[in-house]
Chain A
Amino acid sequence: MQSSRGLNVSETVVIESPAHLADVLADATAHRIAILPIGGGTCLSTGLPTNEHYRALDLSQLSGIENYIPTDMTASFLAGTPLRTVRAALAENGQELPIDLASDDEGTIGGLVATGYSGARRYGQGTLKDVLIGCEYVRGDGLLAKAGGMTVKNVSGFEVSRLLHGSWGSLAVLTRVNLKVLPRPKADRTFVWQDSTLAAALDRQVRFLTSFPGCIAMETTGCGDRWTTAIRFAGRESALQDYQLQLSNAEGTPDAVLDEWPLPPSTEDNPCLVANNPVEQSRGFALMLSTHQGVNALSISLPTGTVRAELDSGLVAAREITTHAEGLWMIEGGDPDWKRDAAIWGPGRQDIAVAQAVKDQFDPGNILNRGRLFI
């Protein structure tokens, strides 16, 4: 028995092929064995603590680029392909995914799709859902199936792929993902301003929103009296220089001009609250507000060793803020004991009946990530 981030793993099965995975899951469903699919293993600290004894799936063997024709601007990856590999293969052809991937990222492409991770570029370029054109998956009950294909446009059949995006492995285990890839912009630039109050920083964001709709990302981060607001553009050098000129005229000379987007610090070991929709005040916590279209992601980082009372008050704050804005929130990381009683997946959902019916259909034995998730 080994423990992985507070999860009990009784055995690990190395998956050799999609057919093998189908057998493993059918058997697990038959015997009601809880399954823990593991890609890069970077998100295991997210989710409810449970007393389940999981059969873990090591998906690292399902790795490789299956079909990548750069001029088609599409690529198919086995789900366990490391993000490093994906990033390198695309970069070689001047292409990329519309998401910031750190070069030392330990994750896998399947995990990225399953968790629905999106970064700051979601504002201008959307999420992986927008480029997901097909996939192969094994349902909880062991049915191996595919949806979509390798064409960038496809309305043949129902959108199973996009439903699986961000479903945290609650319905099926991905074995292959097909993605539309984008040309890498010639230049990429971020302009940064400092403010001493959150209100001033948010005002700045609103001005950006109204005057610079062409940007691809916008984010405010900070704590106390140090707030940083960043705006990012991508494209031809001439356009970026003109944007810089316009910005300087409107906002004064930027405090920093960067060629790379400052990736947020890893929240691996700190409890981090990520929420949708706007926030009015930080309640004293370090905070990151990424503006997206129709959704604003708010992250609150609580340093390691934060006492329980502070964690609780952080949660209350998050609840108030998001309830007011009809938003969602979730807690990444954090101490298992504390998480047990905290509603880490946010508020109740009014579509739960349908979500549960879908879950029952895909995973009738409720084996996938049992106990960790919302459904």
Chain B
Amino acid sequence: MATINLVEELQKPVPFSGPDMPDDELLRACVHCGMCLPSCPTYRETGDEASSPRGRLWMMSAVADGKLSLLDPDFDEQMYQCLNCRACEAVCPSGVQYGPLVEASRAQLEQHRPRPWWQQLLRQSVMSWPFDDVRRMRTGARGLRLYQQSGLSRLLQRTGVLKLMRLENLERMLPPIEESPLAPGKDTWVPKAKLANAHVFNGCVMSSVFPDVNRATGRVLAHNGYATDVPVGQGCCGAIYSHTGMLDDARVLARKNIEAFERAGDGAIVVNAAGCGSALKEYDHLLKDDPRYADRAKAFTARVLDVNELLDQQPLIPPTHAINARVTLQEPCHLVHAQRISAQPRSLLRQVPGLELVEMQESSLCCGSAGIYNITRPKMADALGDRKARNAMATGAEAVVTSNPGCQMQLRTSLIRNGSEQPVEHIVSILDEAYGGRTATGWAIDHQ
């Protein structure tokens, strides 16, 4: 008798429990109408409803109702197959907040699911080490640069060691790194006629891999009247942690950033990485239960603007240099879905003389980058990357424009894999070129 009870006990579905449970109110908002299905990249790719937002919400409800175990491997699979691109939120007629729900489900899995040692190790090495400190990330990036130049890269690619370490995708995505990163507290850009202050959010990947984009951001903002600086004390936005259910780690970083930008004084917090922007705009939700930081998070969130958003608040100061080229726009998920910024980049590109914007099919479907998704799930990421590359190539555009470093890297890899030479540019780099680039006048760098 006792044995049978034990068996039953073991078979009982494991429910959600402990901190960061998916909010029941949010979960019940879904009326399973299915309107989200085609917006979802993994559903588009697989045609399987288990891989759709409705399917995943249905599973979450089943766990909440005790009909499915939290530890069911298929539940785990789906919670992590999701790119958290939030495309479903943008189309949901019932306004279901999918992002917080999937993040909470992942937090539940992190709390309750025993992981094999090698996965833990991998996660620690990929996740914790580089991102929790920007300096370390940068050191890592410098190391990678050395590694790229040394020929070790090719050797390792050939031997397949990277594949074994599941790092080959990270390797493939890295562009050659040429510039040194911005110096927080030192680099500033002073406009001729000041309109307002702007504080650049440096970002881990952006500052390490695309420091030139951050510089271009400073220049373009200065052209348009913003006295721009890079506040000291800021760090990683924490998106990587909140997306993988490591909410407490994300909170630590959030508090640090709030403090840094409070010290920086008034003015917009400008982000040129859509993924970071969307994370910063959710600090209020992340810290809603923190009595010391809840209000400060709200105030912080209200100041955050994506660079597209800020620049398109009024017509651009007319760019001086024509760019005679056709470009196509790839919309980062965390810009178009999470932040609902879609018209602004188009409006900005239209103001560049000579530039022609050709729309690609599925411009707002995830490219497969999604934070570290392309490292952890290369197969799905590659499939989505190929799809995006095909759509981009079909436009015949000479360059692809986007505004998120993850997308930039993923697009570049995907285009190369599909035999395309199309360069991938951040929208700010395009605008910067239209103002004459580094050699332009009309503003001044003030190196303190």
A touches B (Cβ under 8 A): no
Q: Which residues of B approach A to under 8 Å, CB–CB? A: none
